[in-house]
Amino acid sequence: MRHARHLLPALLALAPLTALATPVTYSIDPVHSQVVFNVDHNGFSRSFGRLRITEGTIVFDRDDWSKSSVQATIDLASVDMGDAGWDKAVRGSNLLDSDRARTARYVSDSVEKRSDDEGVVHGKLTLRGTTLPVDLPFRVNRVGKTIYGLHTVAGFSSQVTLDRTAYGMTANRGSIGTDVSVWLEIEAIRGGETQHSNDKETSDAPAQ
């Protein structure tokens, strides 16, 4: 009993260490993830488009964000402007040039925590063969089980403005704006499991 009295405090002291979170790998779910952008159209309005993420991985450590990372591939040929002719023009060599370089690629260098649920990903975007540093401010929306309990999902939102001319898209400056606003709404599934088509809602259970 005397040894047990000394053993119990030692175990309790170790418990917080064993409970610490470790980096968890999530696969970006292309069904529930969106890349939406808009750009000025000749001063009349801002035209919206959408691109598809084909694959990506997020490593997220909830206790130490510096151990987190992200990489993602975007299909430039998937651009959807809401009109077939406009889609073809944006895919063309003057703009996205998707015939020559079908995908864009983002890879993080580091992740910085700014608050309990906000941070910045410091990384590089490769687009049209040009690689430039891009910082992505982001918000952690929720990490938790889906309503059916089949998956653990991490959800993130981000917004950034890119200069299209920096990536060689210098055409049509008189009618198409230079600055492109980009929104990312990302859901990623823990363990790389495939999201079921009917599993679209999340519960109100506390984040895990």
Q: What is the pLDDT of residues 77-101, one digit of tens each?
A: 999 999 999 999 999 999 999 999 9
CATH 3.40.50.10070 for domain 21-190, yes or no, is no
Average pLDDT over residues 25-30: 97
Distances (CA, A) of 30 to 52, 123, 186, 197: 7, 21, 8, 12
Q: Contact 74/96 with Cβ under 8 angstroms?
A: no
Closest CA to 68 of 136, 117, 22, 132: 22
Overall pTM surpassing 0.85 (yes/no): no
- β-sheet bridge partners, residue 28: 188
Domain boundaries, the chain: 21-190
Cα-flanking dihedrals φ and ψ of residue 205, to 5°?
A: -65, 155
3-state secondary structure of 164: helix
Q: What is the pLDDT of residues 108-117, one digit of tens each?
A: 999 999 999 9
Cα-flanking dihedrals φ and ψ of residue 190, to 5°?
A: -65, 135
- β-sheet bridge partners, residue 29: none
pLDDT tier for residue 18 given thresholds of 50, 70 and 90: very low
Amino acid at position 200, single letter: K
pLDDT tier for residue 150 given thresholds of 50, 70 and 90: confident
Four-residue CA torsion sign, 36, 61, 150, 118: negative
Closest CA to 152 of 21, 30, 65, 24: 24
Alpha helices in the chain (DSSP H): 2-19, 84-91
Q: What is the pLDDT of residue 182?
A: 98
